[in-house]
A = this chain, B = another copy of it.
Amino acid sequence: MVGGGKDAFIGAIHRIVANMDGLIELSCGALSINPEIAVDSGRSLFLNEDRIYLNFEEMIKKESQLPAEKRIDFITIVTPNFAHFAPAMMALEHGFHVVIEKPIAFTLDEAKKLKAKVEETGLLLCLTHTYSGYPMVKQARAMVKEGVFGKVRKVWVEYPQGWLSKLSEREGNAQAAWRTDPKKSGKSGSMGDIGTHAAHLAEYITGLQITKVCADLNVLVDGRALDDDGNVLLRFNNGAPGVLMASQVAAGEENALKIRIYGEKGGLEWAQQEPNTLLVKWQDAPAQILRAGSNYGDRLSSFATKNCRTPGGHPEGYLEAFANIYRNFALTLSARIDGTEAPAENLDFPSVADGIRGMAFIDNVVASAASALKWTDYVI
């Protein structure tokens, strides 16, 4: 693991979820750029002293020199956005598979270089777009793909959070500080941090791609250096319109990612805060409540049922969704090591292609926000 020392938020999450299924073991780490924290953190995680590294370069070099049966299989990168590219590229160059916390990189250009390297090496790159790991998101995708709603006509995705409603970056909140700093976070705050999740969710479920955007990005808290709110009109490659909203200043909201999709015959609604329910609406029949883990004969897709650990009514949450990404990645990796073919459900984790689209989304939205024209073509 690169990054994720004591008190880092997302690193701890990665460790919990990687542990969950007993498939992955944390063996080494360059857990902080602060040597003291790096060592302390490594010890508190019961790492062997000789595998607690002070920086990723050292870690990758030394690990690559270990015998195969002792060497790590892959590297997880959980540093702030600006520090994703270098360890990822070096890991690929030394033959390690890579898991990267979203976004894949700091710029689209970096993302393209990673893509080229992945293609060149044939290694796996897994991007932890957590929300696509939920079973009912996979169910939604399966239903749209199957065509039960007919052509997708409209997409409505929203991601309101309230945690940046004050100028917390000036009040000692470390998370707020780096996420609102363009040098560490990237070109956009609201769109980089959460808008990309919303865009990924919309494309993942519909199977469509955004082709045009019309963006309105705003700084709603005075003194902030990056946008903290954005509203974007979308056009998809089947002609369907959409709306995407991401806000970090929706005071009183927690993490209220929600998507609604309407087709010719019905629609669906999924909300991250009650993730075990998929509401399915029909033009000519009562709405249905599909529930994760439930046993309705063959009514749930195998993509939903294979990404569940508990029976219906035993709620799963964010950590299980996150763990699904790791598990699918690990099973795909195992299959590769064993020379077998992973089933389609296991191959279902976000990859470098999703990373490219995420970076492009940010670039295109920022370009649109700066434009006086309504529509900006989505370019990669």
Contact = CB atoms under 8 A, between A and B. Distances in A.
Contact of A318 (B216, B250, B299, B315): B315
Nearest to A268: B252
Interface of A: 9, 12-13, 15-16, 19-22, 26, 45-46, 149, 153-154, 156, 158, 160-162, 165-166, 214, 216, 218, 220, 229, 231, 233, 240-243, 245, 247, 249-256, 260, 262-267, 272-276, 280-291, 293-294, 296-297, 299, 309-320, 371-375
The listed residue with most B CB atoms (<10 A of its CB), out of A15, A242, A263, A312, is A312
A243 to B, nearest CB: 5
Given A216-B241, A299-B285, A314-B317, A20 B22 contact: no
A318 to B, nearest CB: 4
A374 B154 CA distance: 21
Copies in the complex: 4
Nearest to A247: B154
Given A275-B315, A315-B274, A373-B374, A262 B249 contact: yes
Contacts of A233: 214, 216, 231, 233
Contacts of A276: 273, 317
Given A241-B229, A284-B297, A320-B319, A313 B161 contact: yes
A237 to B, nearest CB: 15
B313 A315 contact: no
Which 8 residue pairs spanning A and B have beta carbons closest together?
A: A252-B281, A254-B313, A255-B313, A315-B317, A314-B318, A317-B317, A254-B312, A286-B288
A210 B242 CA distance: 22
Given A274-B274, A318-B315, A318-B316, A262 B289 contact: no
Contact of A154 (B149, B250, B281): B250
B256 A313 contact: yes
A273 B313 contact: yes
Contacts of A291: 254, 286-287
